[in-house]
Chain A
Amino acid sequence: KQEVTQIPAALSVPEGENLVLNCSFTDSAIYNLQWFRQDPGKGLTSLLLIQSSQREQTSGRLNASLDKSSGRSTLYIAASQPGDSATYLCALSNDYKLSFGAGTTVTVRA
């Protein structure tokens, strides 16, 4: 069974600082990895999807890397803003079923 761990559980940074969010997993036989953002009382919004054959994906200030050999993915958010405050979840897909981490709750202080 795939186990997904996200550390730290919570993170508070001043505006402008770069964010580094970690995701580790136990089974490297994955189909793809997705990073999601969840705002309070809302559903999940997909940020980045990395296919199993890829090493990273970038979108604006966001960059996600994937290292299957070490069972790790990292989400980088450059020059954080208060609007980046949310919970960030990683999820790994084995075919169609996603296994989610518990998330990292980020607070960006103005």
Chain B
Amino acid sequence: GAGVSQSPSNKVTEKGKDVELRCDPISGHTALYWYRQSLGQGLEFLIYFQGNSAPDKSGLPSDRFSAERTGGSVSTLTIQRTQQEDSAVYLCASSLASQVLHFGNGTRLTVT
């Protein structure tokens, strides 16, 4: 079946602009994660959604970052007033009951 889909695959934006990154998880997966992978760095946890529970936002690096998940399915990660240090690959993953994670191919964000 279809895997996790992320869009856009690449995004180039000017410093100070807002960006929205989209994630379509696997149908029926209740858990959804956002991770960030910077060049030469490991994966950094950003946010976790599980069903209708309040999300775990403890990994969001600043209040410029926010995320929502509508109808328990599609999720959008929004970065306001982008900075150069926000340049990274943003990965979305979904799973059933926090077991095997299925990742999308990511969105490569470049802030110029």
Contacts and interface: CB of A to CB of B under 8 A. Distances in A.
Main secondary structure of the interface of A (DSSP, over half): strand
B99 A49 contact: yes
Categorize the interface residue count of chain B.
20 to 34
A48 to B, nearest CB: 9
A46 B43 contact: no
Nearest to A48: B100
Given A102-B41, A102-B42, A43 B4 contact: yes
Interface string B85-103: 0000001010000111111
B87 to A, nearest CB: 15
A103 to B, nearest CB: 7
Q: Is the interface of B mostly helix, strand, loop or mixed?
A: strand
Contacts of A93: 98
Contacts of B43: 89, 91, 98, 100
A31 B101 CA distance: 14
B102 A97 contact: no
Contact of A97 (B6, B56, B104, B106): B56
Nearest to B48: A96
A96 B4 CA distance: 18
Interface of A: 4, 31-32, 34, 36, 41-46, 49, 89, 91, 93, 95-103
Given A42-B105, A43-B105, A97-B45, 10 more contacts: A4-B42, A43-B91, A44-B103, A93-B98, A95-B98, A96-B50, A98-B33, A99-B45, A102-B42, A103-B42
